[in-house]
Amino acid sequence: MFKARIIKNRKLSNGDLFAVLNLLDYSTTYLLITTGGEELMPLGATVIEGHGMLGLLLYKLIVTLVVIFCSKRLFTESLWSLLNGAFAGVVVWNNIGLFLSVFF
């Protein structure tokens, strides 16, 4: 029988949180678009028009990896807070849009 190991007091690194928020952004964007919504970010809309949702996923993965790689020496704690706060806001905005599309 296997036992699960629980890691106590482990918190996500800034890069991990950034990756999770980007995947949540993609997921909520995907749900919004499949329910009749649209991508508001011009570059994202261009990628979707040219390559579909798979193209957007690849674009987001590449940008996320580049940001995490470049951040090792360039980002301060306050810059990470700004970046992750902005993406958290985008995810909240997308969820509001999903909620409204379901009920209205």
Is 31 among the domain residues?
A: yes
What's the pTM value of the predicted model, to 2 decimals?
0.83
State residue 65's pLDDT score.
Answer: 95
Is 2 among the domain residues?
A: no
State residue 103's pLDDT score.
Answer: 84
Long-range contacts of 57-65 (CB under 8 A, 24+ apart): 57/26, 60/22, 60/23, 60/25, 60/26, 61/22, 63/22, 64/18, 64/19, 64/22
Q: Note down the domain range covering 73.
A: 14-103
Task: Give residue-wise pLDDT tens across range 10-36.
Answer: 788 999 999 999 999 999 999 999 888
Which stretches in the chain have pLDDT values below 50?
none
Nearest CA to 56 out of 22, 84, 87, 9 is that of: 22
State residue 1's pLDDT score.
Answer: 58
Is 59 among the domain residues?
A: yes
